[in-house]
Structures are given as C-alpha cells and as structure tokens.
Amino acid sequence: MASQFVHTLLRRTPAEAFDAVETPKHLGWIMLTALGIGATIGAGIFAMPGIIAGKAGPAGILSFIITGSVVLFVAICYERFSCVMKHGCSAYSYVYHSIGEVFAWIVAFGLFLEYSFGSSAVAIGWGEYLKRALGFSMPQFWSGPVEINGHFQFGINIIAVSVIIVVTLILIFGGVTKSAQLNFLLVCLKLFLLVTFLIVGIRHVNPANWMPFMPRGWNGVLEGAATAVFPYVGFDALYTFARESKSLRDTRWATYWCVGIVAFLYVTVMAVATGLAPAYVNGQPNPLFAGNEAAAPLAILLSHVGEGWTAQLIAFGAVLGIFNVLLVLCMGGPRIFRNMAEDGLLPPIFQKTNKGNPTLGIAINGILVAITAGLVPFGEIADMMVLGTLIAFIFVCIGALRLKLVNPVLAIIGAIACFILAIKLNPLVLKVYGITCPIGLVIYFTYSLSHSKLGKRQNAALLAAGEDSLKVGDSH
C-alpha cells in the first residue's frame, strides 16, 4: 500500500499533453527575448547593484558573473526541455514530466511565490520610484503599513494597489500580442536609459574606488551571488511563453540572447556603479549603496557625481523598468495556473483564456497581488522570490539529468550551484518556506491528488486492463 501511494505521488506526464488548449504561435525570438529581458531587467538592475556592493564590494562583478553562469547552465536545461515538452509551461511542466507530480506541485508552489510575492514587491518598489521621480510624498496611511519604534502602524499602499489594477486591466483587455508589443517598446526604452547611465557614469569612474576589490572575501561574493538571483528570477517567465513560440529555434535563440544581454548589462552596470563611489568606507558599507528596490541607487550615485539631470532621467527609467517587470510577472503566473488546471491540479476556472491570455487567472492573480502589495510590508519578499526560483532551477536540473537531456556534468553543476546559492540566503526565508510549503501541499493532498487527470487516466487504464483480464478468464 505504501509503495502504491509513493508511485501515485511520482506519476509523470507524457511529453505530449492530452487536453492542452492550442495557443497562438505568434512570438518570434525577438519578442521572446524582449519578454525575458523585460522580466529580468527592471527592479534588479536599478537597485541590486547597491545591495550587492554592500555584501561583496566591487567584487559584486564576480557575483553577477557567477550567477549568470549558473543561470546559463539552467537555461540550457530549460531549452532542452522545451524541445521535448512542446506544450509545457516553464519548470512546472518540465518537472511533472521528468520527476513526478508531487515535485511538480512543489515547484509550482515555489513559482507561485516568485510571481505573486514578486509582483507585490515590485509594485511596492514601483510606487517608491514614482514618488522619487516626481518628487511627491503620501500620507503614512496611504503609503502602506510600517513599523515605527517597534510599533506596527496599519496602512494601505494605494499606489501599489493602483498599478496592479492598471496592469491587470491591460492584460485582460489587451491580449497577449498587444501586451508583448507594449513590453517590447518598454524594453527598448529601458535599454536606452541603461546605456545612458553607462555612457554618463563611465566618465566619472575612479579606479581607486575598486580597491579593496573583495572586502569580505569569497563569502561576500557568494552572498552577493545569491542576492543576484533576484534580477534573474524573471528568466523563468520566458518559458511560460514557450508554447506560444513560433518555433523551437526561436525559443533557443531567445534563451541565449536573453541570458547573454542580461549578464552583460548587470556586469557593466555593477562595474560603473562601484567605480563612482567606494563600496566600503573605513570598513563599513557606504551609505550610498544602502539602497533596495525603492531607493534608486543608480540615480543617487549619479547625483553624487554631479549628474543631477541624468539622475532624474534614470529615476523615470526605473519607473518604466519596474512597470515592465510587473507586466511580465503578472502575465507569467496565470500561465502556470493554466497548465496546472489543464492537468486537473487546479480548478478549471484557471484554464479559461481570452485573446491568448488566461483572463480569469489574471484577474484572480491581480486581486491577490493587489491585496498583498497594499497591506503587507516589503520585508523579505525579494529573498522569498529568490528561494522559489532556486528550488525550481534545482528540480529542472535534476529532471534534465534523469532524462539525459544534457551532459550530466552540466546538470549536476547547475543543481549544486543553485543549492549553494539557496543556503546563502537569509535564514529567515528558509524558515518561512518551511512553513508555507506544507500549506501548499495541503491543497495538493485535498484537491489535486484526487482531481489529477493523469491519475484518472491511469486508474481508467488499470480498470480497463482488469476487465479485459476477467473477460479472458471467463472465455476459458
């Protein structure tokens, strides 16, 4: 009985989906690359260089290189899976096919944390960037909950809630194609602003600021690399659109262009940012690098060297960039819900689409994200995004290894590297996940286990085989 139960939990989907809804093949490699860049270039590139510099100093350049290399290993596994699972949707489908149902649910739950909490965190950051760019402030109550002198004060982040509503309406009424086109325009504008930062900032770089290069040694570099996963979390979003790709070649080209462009931009921006001011002063992190998603450190650094006009331009760029990330994150999560509904692991309501978008899934996701962004402080949401992504990456590498889709060494290195980065995160995040993951499994055991279409088909096949054997016995 126990072995049968384990076998049920580890049942795997075939490569070809049974009842997958046909989606339009309308995204070429340029649009797919733009979607991937749109999700990975945004809040991270405008904020993470400061946070990583506080951990690794100028060696944060190495942190981005390490994380970029790890993501490249994982990206190869993703690309190989997309060739096998043509109707698949991101890590969830790949793990369901290669390892088993319960692990696919765990991955999907991690991705839910990535997209839902991530959208909430990015919405909060977008609101703060908007206030900085336009130079206005809000009453405390309408700025969200805060803790002052150890006392919690309730509030509603009205700007974060509003931007989530706007994005949700764009996705519901605009459809996939218009959303992708808007994303492409925002990516082009955002890349222009980043190039502007590099051109203006490089004139003020002082090589002396790069010394000491590794103030906290390799431990600081690895902590920085773990944090650097945050800017890459949107990479998985590219593969939520894989089944809408015009061809496998388009998906492959988009994968490598996305990872390459993103890694190059992160490394160059990090180099210029740490060259504008020392990361550490008298052994302590420079206050200029004490930014987070809401602090716009690149704008602060440009203001520090006298480039006030460009700093203001970068602040506006951050507003556009974070809106772009929010758009893609809110597009990605419901697509995972759609595939899970197709598999019977979620109610059919998540499967309904309109103009290529899972409309009801987007609406429900928008409500949940708006509530979270409006009522929950930023806290450790960014690290929670990172952990959910790393868990998905680890299982994708293990799945690729099991199916022999890639060189075993590549898959093993990818999985081990992601595990090392995971343990370098804030320990509080691991404790929170240890509580929230079992809650997700409760949903699996109370609904998904009994509604799984794969399980129903397997049971029907066993029943049919039993009836056939009885007929054969009766004939004798």
Instruction: Give backbone dihedrals phi and psi of 330, rounded to 5 degrees, phi first.
Output: -75, -20
The gap between the terminal CA atoms of the chain, to the nearest Å, is 31
Give the pLDDT of residue 54. Answer: 81
Q: Is the pLDDT of residue 249 over 90?
A: no
Mean pLDDT of 109-125: 78
Q: For residues 371 and 392, is the Cβ–Cβ distance under 8 A?
A: no
DSSP character string of 5-19: HHHHHT----SS-SS
What is the Cα–Cα distance from 387 to 232, expressed in whole angstroms? 12
Give the pLDDT of residue 262. Answer: 83
Using alpha carbons only, how large is the chain's radius of gyration in Å? Answer: 23
Mean pLDDT of 108-122: 77
Q: For residues 386 and 43, is the Cβ–Cβ distance under 8 A?
A: no
CATH value at residue 361? 1.20.1740.10
Confirm whether 406 is domain-assigned.
yes
Mean pLDDT of 74-93: 79
Q: Which residue has the tokens 């981005």?
A: 64
What is the Cα–Cα distance from 268 to 187, expressed in whole angstroms? 18
Sign of CA dihedral 404, 406, 407, 409: negative
Confirm whether 9 is domain-assigned.
no
The better pLDDT of the pair 151, 476 is held by: 151
Q: Is the pLDDT of residue 476 over 60?
A: no
**42: three-class secondary structure by DSSP:** coil
Q: Which residue has the tokens 């939520």?
A: 240
Distances (CA, A) of 235 to 32, 70, 154, 294, 468: 11, 12, 34, 22, 48
Confirm whether 256 is domain-assigned.
yes
Confirm whether 462 is domain-assigned.
no
Confirm whether 353 is domain-assigned.
yes
Confirm whether 215 is domain-assigned.
yes
DSSP state of 202: H
Q: Is the pLDDT of residue 470 over 80?
A: no
Q: For residues 342 and 133, is the Cβ–Cβ distance under 8 A?
A: no
Banded pLDDT at 419 (limits 50, 70, 90): very high
Average pLDDT of every residue of the chain? 80
- Name the domain count of the chain: 1
Q: Domain of residue 192: give its range.
A: 24-454
What is the Cα–Cα distance from 367 to 135, expressed in whole angstroms? 29
Angle at 463 between CA 460 and CA 467, to 5 degrees: 135
The better pLDDT of the pair 177, 8 is held by: 8
285-300 pLDDT per residue, tens: 777 775 444 346 777 7
Q: Is the pLDDT of residue 180 over 90?
A: no
Mean pLDDT of 393-410: 93
What is the Cα–Cα distance from 176 to 171, expressed in whole angstroms? 7
Mean pLDDT of 427-442: 81
Give the pLDDT of residue 365. Answer: 84
What is the Cα–Cα distance from 466 to 412, expressed in whole angstroms? 41
Give the pLDDT of residue 399. Answer: 94
The better pLDDT of the pair 229, 378 is held by: 229
Give the pLDDT of residue 397. Answer: 95
pTM for the predicted model, two decimal places: 0.79
Confirm whether 93 is domain-assigned.
yes
Q: Is the pLDDT of residue 156 over 50?
A: yes
What is the Cα–Cα distance from 222 to 422, expressed in whole angstroms? 10
> Residue 199 burial (CB < 10 Å; 0-12/13-18/19+)?
exposed
The better pLDDT of the pair 283, 15 is held by: 283
Confirm whether 382 is domain-assigned.
yes
Q: Which residue has the tokens 């889709």?
A: 405
DSSP state of 284: E
298-310 pLDDT per residue, tens: 777 888 888 888 8
DSSP state of 148: E
Locate 368 and state its tokens.
Answer: 């949940």
What is the Cα–Cα distance from 475 to 469, expressed in whole angstroms? 10
Banded pLDDT at 353 (limits 50, 70, 90): confident
Banded pLDDT at 337 (limits 50, 70, 90): confident
Locate 469 and state its tokens.
Answer: 């054997």
Which region holds residue 138: left if phi is over 0, alpha if psi is between -120 and 50, else beta? beta
Going by their DSSP bridges, the two strands 284-285 and 280-281 should be labelled as antiparallel
